[in-house]
Amino acid sequence: MATLPKMPDFPEWLRSPAVRREAKRLWSKLPAEKDLVKAQKVLEQLISNPVMERVWDELYRKDSTKHKKFFNPARLTNASKAAAHREEAHELRKNGGDKNRQDAEILEFEAGLIEALPDGHTVPRWREQDRAAQLFLSGAYRAALDHEPQFLSDIQAKVSKLRSVAKMLRKLAAELQSVGIHVTEIYAEKLREVAADCDDDAKVMTPSPRNEPWLVTRKRGDLRRKPFVAKLADKSQRLFMKTLHNTIANVTNVVFSSESANLIGDERHQVQLTGEDVRQMLRVNAPRLRPSFGRVILEARIKELEGRVRE
């Protein structure tokens, strides 16, 4: 195992004990990374790049009310997720209209169901906001080490090939079985088992751009940073139930800062993403309110959740 390099000092603006603890944990595991040099460079940037001060300020920013609530509260527990649904429902009701009212009713109903479900997420040591900040850091780090574009067409081709092989194996199995002796029947059964495994693998591999927004559907545009942006947006949604466009842009600029340094002249300024750039990158996979999927699918989802609650 490689020797653990010396960790950089924490800057004064990185005040969160939880984030510092997570950074130390990630640093201690550097020797196990496939590309130690790349992993070290990425983590150093996430720890000490001055732009990251904006990131932590945003994740820990509080509103101006007397309660001083977090402006972007973590949504890790069922209680906080239910609260987010009710807040969204409240805003929809304020906007008025039958469609908004119906959507609000659905969100409120789901909030009640979520609260009744067993909560698999506990935060014994850290506040929920601290734990979300830790997970955001580790998510950004992991996404940075695996941001090479994954093309939807490439995965679809592999799925198609697996299904074609399965079909071929079943045809061979039928030919073997037609020989009519005991041993060929055994061989035929083995081929059918392999064919079934190929079909199962194809089913598992079948891509879903909605559930895997980092998949590149078109081989154009910023193919290097887009997968990273999509993964970080997915992490943002899971942790805060919202897409923090400016924060994602800042982290992306930090992660790719070493590559930006290789550019010269005006090109350096062109590589800096803004929140609006992130918004445009994600517009194809923008999250939608559940009721927009249609009443039939929605009702099936409600029945599924109700069944889980009764269990």
Query: What is the per-residue pLDDT across 37-74, written as a single tens digit (0 to 9) for each?
Result: 889 999 999 999 999 999 999 999 998 877 788 999 99
What average pLDDT is seen over the chain? 80
Reported as half-sphere exposure (CB side, CA atoms, 13 A), residue 174 has a value of: 6
Which sequence spans correspond to the domains of the chain?
Answer: 78-122+290-310, 151-205
**In the chain, helix, strand, coil percent, each to 5?**
65, 0, 30
Q: Is 90 exceeded by the pLDDT of residue 190? A: no
Cβ burial of 163 (10 Å; 0-12, 13-18, 19+) is middle
Reported as a pLDDT band with limits 50, 70 and 90, residue 266 is very low
Packing angle, helices 98-116 and 295-310, rounded to 10: 20
Query: What is the per-residue pLDDT across 99-115, written as a single tens digit (0 to 9) for each?
Result: 889 888 888 888 888 88
Packing angle, helices 128-145 and 36-48, rounded to 10: 140
Q: Between these two residues, 116 and 218, which has the higher pLDDT value?
A: 116
Please compute the mean of the pLDDT values over residues 182-211 and round it to a whole number: 78
CA dist 300 and 306 (Å) reads: 10
pLDDT at res. 45: 93
Query: DSSP 3-state assignment of 70?
Result: strand
8-state DSSP, 103: H
CA dist 84 and 81 (Å) reads: 5
Reported as a pLDDT band with limits 50, 70 and 90, residue 291 is very low
pTM comes to 0.69
Packing angle, helices 52-59 and 36-48, rounded to 10: 60
pLDDT at res. 22: 96
Q: Could you please report the per-residue DSSP string of 148-200?
A: S-EEHHHHHHHHHHHHHHHHHHHHHHHHHHHH-SHHHHHHHHHHHHHHHHHHH
